[in-house]
Chains A and B, each alone.
Chain A
Amino acid sequence: ERVMTQSPATLSVSPGERATLSCRASQTIGSNLAWYQQKPGQAPRLLISGASTRATAIPARFSGSGSGTEFTLTISSLQSEDFAVYYCQQYNNWPLTFGGGTKVEIK
């Protein structure tokens, strides 16, 4: 099973600042990585697939990069609605696996 490790666990950022979230795979997964956003009491929402392709209606301030084992989600200028938990997920191999999440909180 591919183990996905996210860092940091919590990221404190001021509105308008840049946030950089990391995700590492235990073995190579190519570009088969997705990012999801989850707000309290809500279901996850797909942000990015293929490591860097934004999903429908996702703002351009969200960008993804990386391949192989190292991936990054960048939020260029945090808006109030972006404070949430973010999960990476690999879909290169069964079983599909998620990282433990990064909580982005207001500094």
Chain B
Amino acid sequence: QVQLAESGGGVVQPGRSLRLSCAASGFTFSSYAIHWVRQPPGRGLEWVAVISSDGINKFYTDSVKGRFTISRDNSKNTLYLQMDSLRTEDTAVYYCARAISGTYRITDYWGQGTLVTVSA
């Protein structure tokens, strides 16, 4: 069965960096685009970034452009999110989510999320 498992969250000071990982199993990872979506505590969903199946094409929301980098290692079935220059407003649960085959834009399976807290 399709599984996505995020890790790497924690408490970090403003201005510091953190790298999240998303380990995938149960499907051919290299055939699917994958997203990061975040959710601040008690609030709604915010799309963060997506990467194509081959890792060439990447799109980001404006608030993270230049600070966050999405990448993937298809040999390890793993997605990453490198987060630099973190701000308090980046505090959220971060989910990875698989895009439906043949499209970048609609997600079907999601992980359970990892909490990132940016605080002094």
Cβ contact of A91, chosen from B61, B62, B106, B113, cutoff 8 A: B106
Known: A43-B111, A43-B113, A49-B100. A87 touches B45 (CB 8 A): yes
Q: Is the CB of A100 within 8 A of B44?
A: yes
User: 0/1 per residue, B44-74, Cβ < 8 Å to A?
Assistant: 1111001000000001111000000000000
If over half of A's interface residues share one DSSP class (helix, strand or loop), that class is named, otherwise mixed; here it is loop
Number of residues from A at the complex interface, CB < 8 A: 24
Q: Does A101 make an interface contact (CB < 8 A)?
A: yes
Q: How far is the CA of A56 from the CA of B100 in the complex (A)?
A: 11
Closest CB of chain B to A64's CB: distance in Å?
13
Q: Does A55 make an interface contact (CB < 8 A)?
A: yes
User: 0/1 per residue, B103-115, Cβ < 8 Å to A?
Assistant: 0011110111100
The residue among A1, A49, A55, A101 with the most chain B CB atoms within 10 A of its own CB is A49
Q: Is the CB of B47 within 8 A of A97?
A: yes
Q: Is the CB of A98 within 8 A of B111?
A: no
Chain A residues whose C-beta falls within 8 Å of the C-beta of B100 in the assembled complex = 49
| Residue of B whose beta carbon sits closest to that of A98 | B45
Q: Is the CB of B59 within 8 A of A95?
A: yes
Q: Is the CB of A91 within 8 A of B105?
A: yes
Q: How far is the CA of A46 from the CA of B108 in the complex (A)?
A: 6
Cβ contact of B95, chosen from A43, A95, A99, cutoff 8 A: A43
Cβ contact of A99, chosen from B44, B62, B113, cutoff 8 A: B44
Chain A residues whose C-beta falls within 8 Å of the C-beta of B47 in the assembled complex = 89, 95-98
List 7 A–B pairs whose Cβ atoms lie within 8 Å, in order of A's numbering: A38-B45, A43-B112, A46-B108, A89-B45, A95-B47, A95-B62, A98-B46
A sample of 18 more A-B contacts (CB under 8 A), given A44-B95, A99-B44, is A1-B62, A34-B106, A43-B95, A43-B110, A44-B37, A44-B45, A46-B106, A46-B108, A49-B100, A56-B108, A87-B44, A89-B45, A96-B47, A96-B105, A97-B47, A98-B47, A100-B44, A101-B44
